A and B are shown apart, each in its own frame.
Chain A
Amino acid sequence: MRSALIKLMTVLLLLLMSGLAMAEARPMGDDPVVEARLKSLSTELRCLVCQNQTLADSSAPLAEDLRREIRELITKGMTDQEITAYLVARYGDFVRYRPPLNTQTLLLWVGPSLLLVAGFAVLWGVLRRRNAALQDESDEGDEA
C-alpha cells in the first residue's frame, strides 16, 4: 500500500518536474519498491555499532554499508525472511529487534499474556473471597 503510494508520488513528481528547468533531488536508491522494503526490513534490525538504534535510523558508516548490502539482496530477489536468516547466520539473533520464538524466548513472548490472565484470575478470586468474608461478618453481626 505504502510502496504503491510512493510509486504514485514518484510518477507525479517526475511528471511535474519534467516541464521545469529546475534540477530535481534524487532518491538514495533507484527503485522505490526496493526502498520501501529496505525501510520496513531495516526498522526491525539493529545497527551493530550503535548503542541502541535501528539500521533504518542510523547514519553510521557501517549501517550505510549494511543497508547497501540489503538493497542488493532485495534486488537479487531474496525474500525478507531469507535476508533476515542470512543476517542472523552472520551476526546472531542480536541483530534482530524482534526476538525469535524459541525455547529460550518462550517466557518472553508468552509472559505478558500470562501476567494479564493471572492478574485477572487473582483479582476475581480475591473479590469473591472478600465478598464471602464480608457476608459472614455481616451475618455474625445480624446474629449478635
Chain B
Amino acid sequence: MIPELGHFALILALLLAAAQAGFSFSGASRDNATWMTAGVSAARGQFVFTGMAFLSLAYAFYANDFSVLYVASNSNSALPLQYRLAAIWGGHEGSILLWTMTLALWTLAVTLFSRHLPAVFRARLIGTMGLISIGFLLFILLSSNPFDRLFPAALDGRDLNPLLQDPGMVFHPPVLYMGYVGFSVAFGFAIAALLGGELTTEWARWTRTWTTVAWIFLTVGIAFGSKWAYYELGWGGWWFWDAVENASFMPWLVGTALIHSLAVTEKRGAFKLWTVLLAIFTFSLSLLGTFLVRSGVLTSVHAFASDPRRGVFILGFLVLVIGGALTLFAWRAPKVGLGGKFDLVSRESLLLSNNVILVASACAVMLGTLYPLFLDALGMGKISVGPPYFDAVFVPLMMPAMFLMGLAIFTRWKSTDLPAIAWRLKWAFGVSMITALLLPFTMGHWSAMISLGLLMALWIVTTAWVNVFERVKSAESAWWATLIHLPRAYQGMIVAHLGVAVFIIGVTMVKGYEIEHDLRMSPGDSVLVGGYSFHFDGLSELPGPNYSAVQSHFTVTRNGQLLAVLEPEKRIYTVQNNPMTEAAIDAGVFRDLYMSMGEPVGDKAWSVRIYIKPFAHWIWFGCMMMATGGVLALLDPRYRRRSKQETQA
C-alpha cells in the first residue's frame, strides 16, 4: 500500500510541478500576483509530495518490503539499518528520486528565501525550476519508477553492492547532489534574467549567494567521494579520473569559474553575458554528468544502470534544456549593456583569465572522458584514457591558474600597475622558489614534479601572507583584531586559496614520497617499511551482520615505541559472494600508515600491501578549507544587509 502511495505522490508532484511552471510563467507574463502566488504554493506542494514519495521508498527499505523490485534488488534483510536507508540511492531509480528530492528541496528554499526579489523575476525563477522538476518527475514515472512491484515477492533481497556499504556512502551522494542540483538555482536566475532582459548587479549578488552554497556542497561532496575511494577501494588511491568522478568535477570547475565571474559582474557590472552563459553551462554539466552516470554509456565503478530508453530520455532532456537556454540567450543577449570600463591588465581581466583556464580545463576533462566513448561509438576501436593522460594534460593547465591566483589578489579593479606588484612580490617569489628547489633534498629525493608542486603551493601561501600582512601592517589596531575584522568575503577568499595550496601539498607529497610494499607475510613475521616496523600478530575470524571476515592484526612500532594497531580485513559478503578489502589506516598529520590484505598465499600466509602515504590527509583538509572559505564569504554582511533593505523597500 505504502509504495502505491509513493507512486501516487509522484504523480501528484508531477501535476504540481506543471502547475508551478504554468502559474509562475503565465502569472509573470500578465503581471498577475494571484497566479504568481499560486505558483509558489504549487512549488511548495511539489516539495511535500516528492518528499512523501521519498519517505515511502525509505519506509519500503526500512520494512524490508521485497515485493518492491527496487528494494529487492538493492537491499537485504540482514543489511544494517543505516545501509538499508543509504540503499535508497544505491541504484538507478533511487538515485534519480534523490536528484528530484534535492531539486524539490532547493525549490522550497528558493520560495522561502526569495521574498526580496522582484515578483515577476521570482516567478520566472520558480517557473524555470518547475520545468526542470517536470523533466525529472516524468523521467522517473516513465522509465525509472522505484515503486514497481515484484510478483511474486522475493523471499529476500539481492543486497546492496558491498562497495556502497560504508558510512561514506550514507553521506556522499546526498551532499554531492545538493551541490550538483543546487546549480539549478543559478540556472533559474540566468533564465529569469534573460526572460526579463535585465541583468543588474543586484542580479549578480543574488545569484552569487546561491551559487556559493551549491559550490560548497559540491566541494564537500567530491571530497567525501575521494575519501571513500581512498579507504574503501583498498589501494589507497584518492582520485582515479574515472568518468563518474569527472562527471562531478566538470561542474565544479565551471562552478568555480562562475563564482569568480560573478564577482566581476557584481562589482563592476561587466561581462554579464559571460556570467549568464557560465550559469547555464554549470547546470548543463550537472545534467551531462547525470546523463553519463545514469544512462549506462559508461562502464565504471559507479555506473550500475544500463537501459537505452533512459539514456535517450536524459539525452533528449539535456538537448532541450541546453538548446532552449542557449536559444533564449542568443535572442536576448544583444539587449544587455557592456558595463564598466577596465584595462587589459586589471583585476577584471585576471579574473576572466581564471575563467578561461578553468573552462579550458573543464573542456579538457570532458574531452578525455567522452573521447573513448565517441571512438567506440564510431567503430574506431576501443582506447582507454586514464590517469597518465589526465595528469599530463591537467597539471600544465592548472599551473598558470595557480600562478595567477597568487598575483590576482594584489590587483585592483579597472587598472593595475603590474611592475609595482611584481616588486612587492619579489620576496614571496624568491622564498617560494628557493624553498621549493631545496626542500625535496631534505626529504630523500628530488624531482622536477615535486619541486613544481611545492612551488605552486608555496607561491599561493607566500602571496597570501604578503597580502594579509600588508593589510594588517597599515591598520592601527592589534594584528589579531585587524585579522578578525577583515571583511568576511576577503577572509573567505584567502582561506579558500590557502585550501588550494594545502591540497596541492598533499597531492605532491603523496605522489612524490609514497612508499609501497607488496609482501607475503605469515603470522609472526615483521617488516620494516619507511622506518616503521610492522609485526603480523595473527589472524582472527570476525563475523559481521551480512558478511564473514578474516581480520589480521598488526602492531606498528617505531624505535621500539608502539604507534598503532592496524587491523585490515578481508570480507566476503554472503548474499552476492563478493570479496571486499577493508583497509586499515592510521591517519596522521604528516603521514598515513595504510594496510590492506590481498589474497591468501598458502599456509596462513597472506599477500599484504603496506603503504606510507605522506601528507595524504592534506588533500581532504585542503578541500574542507576551500569549503570553509565559501562559508566565510557567505557570512559577509554585504549580502544580508542589502537584502534586508530590499525587503523593507
Q: B-contacting residues of A (Cβ < 8 Å)?
A: 1-2, 5, 9, 12-13, 16-17, 22-29, 35, 39, 43-44, 46, 51-54, 56-57, 59, 64, 92-99, 104-105, 107-108, 111-113, 115-116, 119-120, 122-124, 127-128, 130-131, 133-134, 137-138
Q: For A57, what are the chain B residues with a Cβ–Cβ distance below 8 Å?
A: 233, 235, 237
Of all chain B residues, the one with the shortest Cβ separation from A29 is B518
Q: For A120, what are the chain B residues with a Cβ–Cβ distance below 8 Å?
A: 353, 356
B109 at interface by CB-CB < 8 Å: no
Nearest chain B CB to A60's CB is how many angstroms away? 10
Q: Tell me the complex Cα distance, A96–B381, Å.
A: 13
> Are B240 and A99 interface neighbours, CB within 8 A?
no
Q: How many residues of B contact A (CB 8 A)?
A: 65
Q: Tell me the complex Cα distance, A47–B371, Å.
A: 20
> Are B387 and A116 interface neighbours, CB within 8 A?
no
> Are A119 and B344 interface neighbours, CB within 8 A?
no
Contacts A5-B444, A57-B235, A115-B364: A25 and B527 contacting too (C-beta < 8 A)? yes
Nearest chain A CB to B317's CB is how many angstroms away? 26
B386 at interface by CB-CB < 8 Å: yes
B352 at interface by CB-CB < 8 Å: yes
> Are A108 and B385 interface neighbours, CB within 8 A?
yes
Contacts A28-B520, A119-B360: A51 and B299 contacting too (C-beta < 8 A)? yes
Beyond contacts A23-B524, A51-B301, A107-B367: 9 other A-B pairs, Cβ-Cβ < 8 A, are: A2-B445, A27-B519, A52-B300, A52-B386, A53-B240, A93-B383, A111-B363, A112-B363, A115-B367
Of all chain A residues, the one with the shortest Cβ separation from B526 is A22
> Are B516 and A28 interface neighbours, CB within 8 A?
no
> Are A46 and B384 interface neighbours, CB within 8 A?
yes
> Are B381 and A92 interface neighbours, CB within 8 A?
yes
- 18 intermolecular pairs with C-beta atoms under 8 Å apart: A9-B530, A17-B528, A22-B526, A26-B519, A27-B517, A52-B240, A52-B299, A54-B386, A96-B384, A98-B389, A107-B367, A112-B367, A112-B397, A119-B360, A120-B356, A131-B341, A134-B338, A134-B341
Contacts A51-B301, A116-B397: A13 and B528 contacting too (C-beta < 8 A)? yes
> Are B359 and A24 interface neighbours, CB within 8 A?
no
Q: A-contacting residues of B (Cβ < 8 Å)?
A: 233-235, 237, 240, 242-243, 299-301, 338, 341, 343-344, 349, 352-353, 356-357, 359-361, 363-364, 367-368, 371, 375, 380-389, 392-393, 396-397, 444-445, 447, 516-522, 524-528, 530, 534, 536, 581, 598-599, 607-608
Q: For A128, what are the chain B residues with a Cβ–Cβ distance below 8 Å?
A: 344
Q: Tell me the complex Cα distance, A51–B301, Å.
A: 6
Taking a contact as CB atoms closer than 8 A, the residue among B344, B386, B517 that contacts A98 in the complex is B386
> Are B242 and A52 interface neighbours, CB within 8 A?
yes
> Are A24 and B338 interface neighbours, CB within 8 A?
no
Contacts A52-B240, A115-B363: A99 and B356 contacting too (C-beta < 8 A)? no
Taking a contact as CB atoms closer than 8 A, the residue among B242, B381, B517, B525 that contacts A24 in the complex is B525
Q: Tell me the complex Cα distance, A37–B3, Å.
A: 56
> Are A94 and B384 interface neighbours, CB within 8 A?
yes
> Are B364 and A99 interface neighbours, CB within 8 A?
no
Q: For A46, what are the chain B residues with a Cβ–Cβ distance below 8 Å?
A: 384, 386
Of all chain B residues, the one with the shortest Cβ separation from A95 is B384
> Are A97 and B234 interface neighbours, CB within 8 A?
no
Q: Tell me the complex Cα distance, A35–B609, Å.
A: 13
Of all chain B residues, the one with the shortest Cβ separation from A115 is B360
Q: For B393, what are the chain A residues with a Cβ–Cβ distance below 8 Å?
A: 112
Q: For B392, what are the chain A residues with a Cβ–Cβ distance below 8 Å?
A: 98
Taking a contact as CB atoms closer than 8 A, the residue among A92, A98, A124, A133 that contacts B388 in the complex is A98
> Are A116 and B360 interface neighbours, CB within 8 A?
yes
Of all chain B residues, the one with the shortest Cβ separation from A56 is B235
Q: Tell me the complex Cα distance, A89–B375, Å.
A: 19
Q: For B520, what are the chain A residues with a Cβ–Cβ distance below 8 Å?
A: 25-28
> Are B353 and A28 interface neighbours, CB within 8 A?
no
Q: Tell me the complex Cα distance, A17–B233, Å.
A: 32
> Are B364 and A111 interface neighbours, CB within 8 A?
yes
> Are A52 and B301 interface neighbours, CB within 8 A?
yes
Q: For B349, what are the chain A residues with a Cβ–Cβ distance below 8 Å?
A: 123, 127
Nearest chain A CB to B185's CB is how many angstroms away? 27
Q: For B341, what are the chain A residues with a Cβ–Cβ distance below 8 Å?
A: 131, 134, 138
Q: Tell me the complex Cα distance, A43–B338, Å.
A: 50
Q: Is the interface of A mostly helix, strand, loop or mixed?
A: helix
Q: Tell me the complex Cα distance, A54–B385, Å.
A: 12
Q: For A94, what are the chain B residues with a Cβ–Cβ distance below 8 Å?
A: 382-384
Q: Tell me the complex Cα distance, A2–B512, Å.
A: 10
> Are B598 and A59 interface neighbours, CB within 8 A?
yes
Q: For B608, what are the chain A residues with a Cβ–Cβ distance below 8 Å?
A: 25
Q: Tell me the complex Cα distance, A54–B436, Å.
A: 31
Nearest chain A CB to B535's CB is how many angstroms away? 8
Nearest chain B CB to A102's CB is how many angstroms away? 10
Nearest chain A CB to B614's CB is how many angstroms away? 14
> Are B581 and A108 interface neighbours, CB within 8 A?
no
> Are B344 and A131 interface neighbours, CB within 8 A?
yes
Q: Tell me the complex Cα distance, A104–B371, Å.
A: 10
Q: Tell me the complex Cα distance, A82–B338, Å.
A: 59
Contacts A52-B240, A98-B388: A116 and B524 contacting too (C-beta < 8 A)? no
Q: Tell me the complex Cα distance, A111–B368, Å.
A: 9
Q: For A115, what are the chain B residues with a Cβ–Cβ distance below 8 Å?
A: 360, 363-364, 367
> Are B518 and A99 interface neighbours, CB within 8 A?
no
Nearest chain A CB to B382's CB is how many angstroms away? 4
Of all chain B residues, the one with the shortest Cβ separation from A57 is B235
Q: Tell me the complex Cα distance, A124–B345, Å.
A: 11
Of all chain B residues, the one with the shortest Cβ separation from A112 is B364
> Are A22 and B524 interface neighbours, CB within 8 A?
yes
Of all chain B residues, the one with the shortest Cβ separation from A137 is B338
Q: Tell me the complex Cα distance, A64–B607, Å.
A: 11
> Are B299 and A27 interface neighbours, CB within 8 A?
no
Of all chain A residues, the one with the shortest Cβ separation from B356 is A119
Q: For A24, what are the chain B residues with a Cβ–Cβ distance below 8 Å?
A: 525-527
Q: For B598, what are the chain A residues with a Cβ–Cβ distance below 8 Å?
A: 59
> Are B528 and A35 interface neighbours, CB within 8 A?
no
Of all chain B residues, the one with the shortest Cβ separation from A104 is B380
Q: For B536, what are the chain A residues with a Cβ–Cβ distance below 8 Å?
A: 25
Of all chain B residues, the one with the shortest Cβ separation from A36 is B516
Q: Tell me the complex Cα distance, A96–B240, Å.
A: 15
Taking a contact as CB atoms closer than 8 A, the residue among B300, B382, B389, B444 that contacts A93 in the complex is B382
Q: For A35, what are the chain B residues with a Cβ–Cβ distance below 8 Å?
A: 518
